[in-house]
Structure 1
Amino acid sequence: MYLFSLSNTKNLAEQICSKTKLKLGQHQAYRLSDGELYLAIKNKIKGQNVFVMGSTYQPDNNIIEFLILINALKENGAKKITAIIPYFGYARQDKIDRAGSPITAKLIADLFKTAGINQFITIDIHSQRNEKYLGPKLINISCLSLFADYIKKNIDLRNCLIVAPDKGAKPRALTLSKLLGKLPIIIMQKIRIKQNIAKVMRFKKAIAGKNALIIDDMIDTAGTIISACQELQRHQVKNIYVFA
């Protein structure tokens, strides 16, 4: 069984193959004079189940190559194609947040399925909406159990609380709280001032002297996390730990 990979996840793919019975698939890819991508599969995969891996960080540079690779696998007769996507680009554009905006996350999911994907494997996909877009066979791997193990070994839980920097992080905060013996939770309010700039608003709860465990799915510009830390410091928390 083969695992094919974009160049941006090749090192990870090689590590996976070294620890499993998967073989690293080979394909040829280069740019034509007008900038188009030419791609061809080198392995015989007809009738086989295959995996294909790639990160869609910097999505406009990587999604087209990903789609062409997937479709090449389909056209070469792959029986089932499972996509492993550590970072799913456009996942945050999962709803209409203002008049005139599209649901780009759904569009990207539909493009992947049209190209030939039968199943997706993701890591902490941004929202339950994205889980719906990717379909019922989605395997969404959560890092929360890893975070919980680290916290138990390295942080004194007797004086801790879990902080969700916005409402979107609430489900993760609830799950982490359960894994850590039902620690108290604070849900902060966030106001998005403009694109990539957000301010976390204050909350009414006495937390001075506590250790705050902030949980979120990702850090991009870190604006939300920094704003949350500043607000927690204003409330005189003892220590701040960030998990994302």
Structure 2
Amino acid sequence: MAAINEPKLISGNANRKLAEAVARRMSIHRGAKVELVSARVERFNDQEIFVEIHENVRGEDMFIIQPTSNPANDNLMELLIIADTLRRSSAARITAVIPYFGYARQDRRSRARTPISAKLVANMIAQSGIERVLTMDLHAAQIQGFFDIPVDNLYASPIFSLDIKHHFRDCLDEVMVVSPDVGGVARARELAKRINAPLAIVDKRREKPGEVADMTVIGDVSGKRCIIVDDICDTAGTLVKAAELLRESGAKEVHAYITHGVMSGSAVERVANSSMKSLVITDSIQPTPQVLEAENIRVVATAPLFAQAILNIWGGTSVSSLFDDPTLEPLYETHYAGAF
């Protein structure tokens, strides 16, 4: 299917730096300058959101780059109102690029008389005029089924595997991938397979949400450089406890690779004072100054991946091809020059 018009990007206020980075990468890939559409996204005194687009978007293929991170409700409303503005301005197609999909942890009824908020948000997105969603590492894969529009769910594990192969290239035989819970085994196994490493599991039992009662390591981590893999780091409490348990179980070092660095409350301080040697997160959520200043926290870029995915959607070509290392490595060759 050939592209019939130009891809155009527009950004809300949630992560404008990522949107600008995606535009720069698309400019490199296309050999033509790609800029964010000029728009005003602001709030009235009563915090109502107002959007005004300063360019003609009639008949254009529009991509809204807007994670629904903290403040989740404000950023979600920005996304919906931008979409409504584009629809009423006769955009040909509207794709929501949501690097971090908020409310994803509310994907089922955990007990009686509770909502399935992820489904509600999916309905709101579809009703706003958005025709396609591009996201990364949904908390639960089945959330794709909540949408009645196409959803492309990218994965951070290919990026993480390139980063691990670069930073641990002299000791890959000592690396062990660790899932922080039984539910994350599939994600951890995928990364372990990519770097040809063994797998361990931290089995945790919760008495209530946010509080871990007991943790046990399944697997021998003695003398290993353990890499904990997960999709979300919120308060970092469980992550820090898992790192301490791994060290007590004989691990030589503990590192963590987490897709979405929510980093609520005193999470940065917990990580900085923990036994973890490093925490690697992506820029799916705009890092705070505290995150950027932390000595043992590092941020890897997602712009090359999102830029190529947007171009593939625009051109009607495969997005799943970006899951393969041979396809992804050239996108990150400037980051890891000479590593492969």
The two structures have a TM-score, normalised by structure 2, of: 0.66
Q: Which of 173, 187, 190 in structure 2 is aligned with 1:158? A: 173
- Equivalent in 151, 160, 167 of residue 147 of structure 1: 160
Matched residue, 1:210: 224
SS in 2 for 1:24: coil
- For 1:88-127, what per-residue CA distance to the aligned partner results, in whole angstroms no more than 9, with x for missing partners? 1111111111211111111111111110111111122212
| 1-structure distance, mates of 2:45, 2:220 | 63
Rate the CA distance shift 1:102–1:141 in 2: closer, same or farther, 3 A.
Answer: same
| Structure 2 contact 199–219 (Cα < 8 Å) conserved | no
Which residue in the other structure is 1:187 paired with? 201
Of the three residues 35, 38, 48, the one matched with 1:23 is: 35
* Greater relative CO, 1 or 2 (CA 8 Å, sep 6+): 2
**Separation (CA, whole Å) in 2 of partners of 1:84 and 1:64:** 14
Kept after mapping to 2: 8 A contact 1:120/1:137: yes
Question: Are residues 135 and 223 of structure 1, via their aligned partners in 2, closer, same or farther at CA, if it must alter by over 3 Å?
Answer: farther
The equivalent of 2:104 in structure 1 is: 91
List, as ranges, runs of 4+ consecutive aligned residues in structure 1 with deviation greater than 4 Å.
none
How many pairs are equivalent? Answer: 243
Q: Residue 217 of structure 1: SS of its match in structure 2?
A: strand
Q: Distance in 1 between matches of 2:140 and 2:218?
A: 27
Unpaired runs of 5+ in structure 1?
none
Equivalent of residue 189 in structure 2, options 150, 174, 199? 174
In structure 2, the residue corresponding to 1:209 is in which secondary structure? coil
TM-score normalized with structure 1 length = 0.91
Contact 2:40 2:53 survives alignment (8 Å) = yes
What residue in structure 2 maps to residue 47 of structure 1?
A: 59
In 1, Cα distance between equivalents of 2:236 and 2:130: 32
Paired with 1:133 and 1:200, the residues of 2 have a C-alpha distance of 33
Do the aligned partners of 2:179 and 2:229 also contact (CA within 8 Å) in 1?
Answer: yes
**Equivalent position of 2:146 in the other structure:** 133
Distance in structure 2 (CA, Å) of the matches to 1:143 and 1:206: 26
Aligned counterpart, 1:201:
215
How far off is 1:13 after superposition? 1.9
- SS of the residue corresponding to residue 15 of structure 2 reads helix
Q: Is the 8 A contact 1:199 1:223 kept in 2?
A: no
Judge conservation of contact 2:136–2:154 (CA < 8 Å) in 1: yes
1:136 to partner: Cα distance: 6.4
Separation (CA, whole Å) in 2 of partners of 1:194 and 1:154: 37
Query: How big is the shift at 1:240?
Result: 1.0
The CA RMSD measured in Å over matched residues stands at 1.9
Q: How many angstroms apart in 2 are the aligned matches of 1:14 and 1:240?
A: 33
> How much does 1:164 deviate?
0.3
Q: Which residue identity lines up with residue 22 of structure 1 in the other structure?
A: V
CA-CA distance at 1:137 after TM superposition: 2.5
Q: Is the 8 A contact 1:57 1:88 kept in 2?
A: yes
Take 2:42 and 2:251, find their aligned partners in 1: how far apart are those partners?
Answer: 53
